[in-house]
Structure 1
Amino acid sequence: MTQQEFSDYVERVFRHHNMVYNTLITELALENPDYSDTENAELHQAEKKMLSVCAPLNEVVSAQAEGRKLDVTVYMKLTKSVPECEAATERVEGLIP
């Protein structure tokens, strides 16, 4: 995969992750105020994992948006964390009622 292809992949995963997370917020939290984490424990656990594995990606994107410089090791983590973020996001998406 070229650097440009990886960059495009990272952006695609980030956008998909944000779309799924926004869906969780709007459809579950805002539109269904009676929804609780215990109502769907599997979804709640998948969401927690998604937020954890997507944290490095979110950190890099936030830093770039704010013009902050990050250590090169943070960028190196993306090669592992982006595919994990993609898989976790797809898992959550499949569990959303």
Structure 2
Amino acid sequence: MMHQFIYQLKLIPTLLNEENWTEKENECVTRHFQRLQQLVEEGKVILAGRTLTMDEKAFGIVILEVTSEEEAREIMETDPTVEERVMTAELFPYRVALMRK
């Protein structure tokens, strides 16, 4: 049986100022995006995106469909931006109720 989860990503406060970004953070976000693309191809990511603001309210989300909470947590915790502490993440059980075709 498949289960859905959502994880919310937030930039660490110092990175809300774009002047604080280095090549390290940019490269990390590139790997994050590539990994999400791979998870889409594997059928594990339903949707991923972010707000277009760069303030304390800014966030990204990843909606997963996987076999267990453990699998969802592993995906979240091994996200390059989480592993490298560019972003913090929080996991929630979730259910997509409506989706445009």
TM beyond 0.5: no
Q: Structure 2 length normalisation: TM-score?
A: 0.37
Tell which has more relative contact order, 1 or 2 (C-alpha 8 A, sep 6+): 2
Structure with the higher strand share, 1 or 2: 2
Using the size of structure 1 for normalisation, the TM-score is 0.38
